[in-house]
Chain A
Amino acid sequence: MKGSHEAFWWSLFSAGGVIAAMLIPVLVFVTVVAPGFGWGVFVDAMQYDRIAGLVGHQLVKAILFVSIWLSFFHAFHRIRHLILDMHVSVPGLPLAVLNYALATAGTVSAALVLWRI
């Protein structure tokens, strides 16, 4: 039974890993790095009206929700294993529950904020 649970978390980890690999770097670049350097075309692109219009599209919302959901589960699954690999003295079950609860909280938050746009 434990093995099947682990297979479930590893499948979310893998799917989230692929999505994070494809999407997160370019999002970091366009939302933080390029505007931070003051590159005009990206500063203009991030203005409220333009981004609200783009993210308001239902397809974009769906893509963002799935991407955030799976990326959160990827990240917190890996953080759980990183903590165990670093030999931090913490019981396995509470650590797993905490990490997947944080991933779930992030997913629910994503659903709520996307719903409000």
Chain B
Amino acid sequence: MSTSSRRALGPRWWLMRRSYFLVFVRELTAIFIAAYLVILLIILAKLGGDAGSYEAFRESLTSPGMLVFGVITLAFTLFHSITFISLIPQGMAIWRGEERVHPALIAGPGYVGLVAVVAIVLVAILR
């Protein structure tokens, strides 16, 4: 669904079809990414200060409200990961001679990259 067709259908385009609603949810993921980046910046800012200030902020992150926010944000950001990697073949068609490379062969390395990055981050943090 293109940007122009979304704007031609009116403000309730996202309620017209299930597939349109999923496009809308995909766009909403940006709000959760931006909100988490602000939290990450605060964590980094506290790290640059004293240990007490960092630990106090870390404690505030364990409140029930932040946990709910974290779980919802995790769901939206995972939705972003899956939809963005799945759409890479649409934005990047690769041709081998006259034959178009199968989309799975382009999206596949994206998922391998996702697993590799997750593993690297977990090893770096937990070692």
Binding site for B on A (CB under 8 A): 14, 17-18, 20-33, 35-38, 41-42, 45-49, 51-52, 54-55, 60, 64, 68, 71-72, 74-79, 81-82, 84-87, 106, 109-110, 113-114, 116-117
Distance between B33 CB and nearest chain A CB, rounded to angstroms: 4
Chain B interface, DSSP helix/strand/loop, else mixed? helix
Q: Number of A-B pairs whose CB atoms are under 8 Å?
A: 163
Query: Contacts A30-B125, A81-B27, A87-B10; is A68 near B113 (CB within 8 Å)?
Result: no
Contact of B113 among A22, A54, A71, A109 (CB under 8 A): A22
Given contacts A26-B122, A28-B36, A68-B40, 13 further A-B contacts (CB under 8 A): A20-B80, A20-B81, A21-B81, A22-B114, A25-B74, A27-B36, A31-B40, A32-B66, A75-B33, A85-B13, A85-B27, A86-B11, A113-B44
Which residues from 37 to 62 on chain B have a C-beta closer than 8 Å to any C-beta of chain A? 37-41, 43-45, 47-49, 51, 54-55, 58, 61-62
